[in-house]
Amino acid sequence: MGRRDAESLMSKLRQMSEDGVASFFSEVMANDSLRRTLGRAGESFFSNKQSFDRNIETVLDFVNIPSKRDLRELKARLDHMNGQLVNLSIKIDRMLAETHSKSAPTAEHPAKPRTARKPARKK
C-alpha cells in the first residue's frame, strides 16, 4: 500500500459518517495485508510507548521528580497508614471509654464529696 493510498483512505475516512467508518474497518479487516500492517504498526506503537515511558521515568528519577507510578505507590501507602490511624483512634476511644466508665461514680459507689482545703501556714 503506497503513501498516496493511505492519504486517500484517510481523506475518505474523514468524510464518512459513523456507518461509513464501520464499513471502512470491516473492509480493512477483510484485507489480509492491510490487517497485518495495522497489527505490526500497533505492536510497534506499544513497544515504542513502553520504551518511551521507561525513558521518561529515568529522566524524572534523575532530576528527582516523582513519576505517576511513584505517586500511585505513595498514595497507596498513605491510604494504608490512614486506615491504621483510624483503627488506632477507635481503639484509643474504646480504652478511654472503659477507663472513664470504671472511674465514673455509680449508684453503688457514689463520688466522695470534696472537703475544703485549709490555707497553708505562713512561715
Average pLDDT rounded to a whole number, residues 36-63: 88
Q: Do the domain assignments include residue 79?
A: yes
Task: Tell me the average pLDDT of the chain.
Answer: 81
Single out the residue of 13, 5, 11, 14 nearest to residue 34, CA to CA.
5
Q: Do the domain assignments include residue 51?
A: no
Q: Do the domain assignments include residue 84?
A: yes
Structural domain count of the chain: 1
Quote the CA–CA distance of 24 and 12 in Å, as a whole number: 9
Average pLDDT rounded to a whole number, residues 101-110: 64
- pTM of full prediction above 0.75: no
Percent of the chain at pLDDT above 70? Answer: 79
Phi-psi map region of 116: left, alpha, beta (phi>0 left; psi -120 to 50 alpha): beta
Q: Do the domain assignments include residue 21?
A: no
3-state secondary structure the chain: CCHHHHHHHHHHHHHCCHHHHHHHHHHHHHCHHHHHHHHHHHHHHHHHHHHHHHHHHHHHHHCCCCCHHHHHHHHHHHHHHHHHHHHHHHHHHHHHHHHHHHHCCCCCCCCCCCCCCCCCCCC
What cell was used for 47?
A: 513497544
Sorting pLDDT into bands at 50, 70 and 90, what band is 88?
very high
Which of the pair, 10 or 51, is modelled with greater confidence? 51
Q: Do the domain assignments include residue 93?
A: yes
Q: Do the domain assignments include residue 92?
A: yes
One-letter amino acid for residue 119 of the chain: P
Residue 73 structural domain:
66-100
